[in-house]
Structure 1
C-alpha cells in the first residue's frame, strides 16, 4: 500500500489511487501517517479530530474509525494499525508516502548539488517536486498536527524550488534570467533576488546584477526601513570583486 499527502489525501492498495471519502477517517489516517511508527494517544486523536466540543462518544468513535480504516487497508489482523496503550500506531516501513519520498528526494538533490553534480541534482529535484499535486493535506482542516505538517512541507517545497534553480544556475544561467526576472518581480524574498543577481552575473551582466541590488535596497528602505540581509550584501561584494566562485550555489 502507498499513500499520498502532497495534495488531497489518497491511498493505493491495488493498482489505482483513490480518496478516503469519510472526512474523519481521512483525518485519522493522515494523523497516523504523520506519526508513522509512533503511538498517538487516544486523547490526542480526540483533540485533533474534534478541536472544539468533542462528543461524549469520542473514544468509541475513534475505535470505529480505526476499524473502518483497517478494513479499507485490508488490515484484518490489525498488524498495520496496532493498539499500543495509550493509543494507536501505524506500523509501516519508510518510503510508502509521497511526503517521505519528497523529503528523501530533497536531501538527495541537496547532496548532489553540494558535491558539485548539478546535472544529477536537477534531475533528482525535478522528479521530487513532481510529487506535488497541490497544497499538502488539501482536504483536511488547517489546525493542529495537520496545520503544522502542512506549513513544514510547504517550507520544504519552497526550499526544493530554490535548490532546483541553484542547480540550473550551474548549468544554464542565461536561460534562467527571464524566468527569475518574473519570479523576483512577484516575490519579496531576498534569496530569489539573489538568484536573479547570480544569473545576471554568470550571464555576463554584472552591472544589471548590481542594479537589481540597488532597486531591492531602495524598495526595502522605503517599505520597511531596513537594509538587505548580510547574504545579499556579501553577494553584491562578490560581484563587485568579480569573484565567480560559489555564485552558482549561493553564499548562504
Structure 2
C-alpha cells in the first residue's frame, strides 16, 4: 500500500523541504544543500561528523571543518523549524535526521512501485500503469541535481536513476499489455535514443511497432541494435531480443508472456 501524501523532503530533483505554510523551499548555500542531501540519503542513521566532513569537502577540508559543520547544522535546523533538535538530532558520534514514513519523496516512489508490481502480478494492468505513472510523476529531473560532488550523493544518484529506469520499463510493459501501442511508441523511441544499449527498451519498442503493423520498422530496431552491440562490445543481442525478432520475421503472434515484468530494484 502506498504511503500517505505527507512528503516533507524532496530529492528526486533539486533538494527541497516543505515549509510550515506548505510551500517548497530551496537552499541557496551549496554546503547546506549537500549537508541536507547526505543526511536524507542516510536518514534515521547517525552520520559521524568525520563522514560529514568528507562528504562536504571531498578534496580538501578547511582547518575549521568541524566548527563549520556545527554552523551548517544550526542553520539547517532553523530552516527545518527545528530549534530544539528534535528532527535533526545531535548524537555522541555525529548527527541523525529523523524522517518518518512517507516524508521523503523517494520512499513514496518505492511504495508506489511496490503497488504497481503487485498489480502487475494479478494482471491488473490499468491499475499498474496508474501506480507507476504516479511514481514517475514524483521526479522533477535528476536526483539531487543541485548537489555537488559528495561521494555518497553521487553513488545514490546513480542507484536512484537505475530505479527510475526500471520503473519506467514496468510502466511501459503494463501499457503494452493494455494495448496502448500507438501512444507509447514515441516515448519508447526517445528512451531508445537516450539509452541505446538498454535492450529492454528495444524489445518493447519492437513489440509496439509490430503490434501496430510496422513490421519492417520493428525489424530495423533489432538490426540497428545488433550493429551497435557488435561495434561497441563485440556481442550479439540477448536471447529475448533474438526470440522476438524470429517471431516478427515469421509473422507470428507475440508471446505476451514476454511482457512479464522484471523486478524493480529495492532499497536493500
Same fold (TM over 0.5): yes
Change in Cα spacing, 1:57 to 1:223, as seen in structure 2 (3 Å) is closer
Comparing both chains, which one has the higher relative contact order based on Cα–Cα distances under 8 Å and sequence gaps of 6 or more?
A: 2
Please identify runs of 4+ aligned residues in structure 1 that moved more than 6 A.
Answer: none
1:173 aligns with: 181
1:45 aligns with: 52
Specify which of 225, 229, 248 is matched with residue 220 of structure 1. Answer: 229
Specify which of 177, 184, 199 is matched with residue 190 of structure 1. Answer: 199
Query: After superposition, where does 1:1-252 map in structure 2 within 5 Å?
Result: 2-14=8-20, 15-171=22-178, 172-185=180-193, 187-188=195-196, 189-203=198-212, 209-237=218-246, 240=250, 242=253, 244-249=255-260
Change in Cα spacing, 1:77 to 1:133, as seen in structure 2 (3 Å) is same
Q: Distance in 2 between matches of 1:169 and 1:67?
A: 51
More deviation in 161-170 or 232-241?
232-241
Q: Deviations over 1:23-50 (max 9, x none)?
A: 2122111111111110000000001111
Q: Deviations over 1:80-101 (max 9, x none)?
A: 1112221111122121111221
Query: How big is the alpha-carbon RMSD for the aligned residues of Structure 1 and Structure 2?
Result: 2.4
CA contact (8 A) 1:198 1:248 kept: no
Q: Distance in 2 between matches of 1:115 and 1:35?
A: 34
Q: Distance in 2 between matches of 1:68 and 1:140?
A: 17
Q: Distance in 2 between matches of 1:38 and 1:124?
A: 29
Q: Distance in 2 between matches of 1:150 and 1:106?
A: 18
TM norm structure 2: 0.84
Change in Cα spacing, 1:202 to 1:19, as seen in structure 2 (3 Å) is same
More deviation in 54-63 or 105-114?
105-114
CA contact (8 A) 2:170 2:261 kept: no
CA contact (8 A) 1:6 1:99 kept: yes
Aligned length: 252
Deviation at 1:73, TM superposition (A): 1.4
CA contact (8 A) 1:170 1:249 kept: no
- Structure 1 regions of 5+ residues with no counterpart? none
Q: Distance in 2 between matches of 1:251 and 1:235?
A: 17
Change in Cα spacing, 1:30 to 1:215, as seen in structure 2 (3 Å) is closer
Change in Cα spacing, 1:126 to 1:139, as seen in structure 2 (3 Å) is same
Q: Distance in 1 between matches of 2:156 and 2:147?
A: 11
Deviation at 1:121, TM superposition (A): 1.2
Q: Secondary structure at the match of 1:160?
A: helix
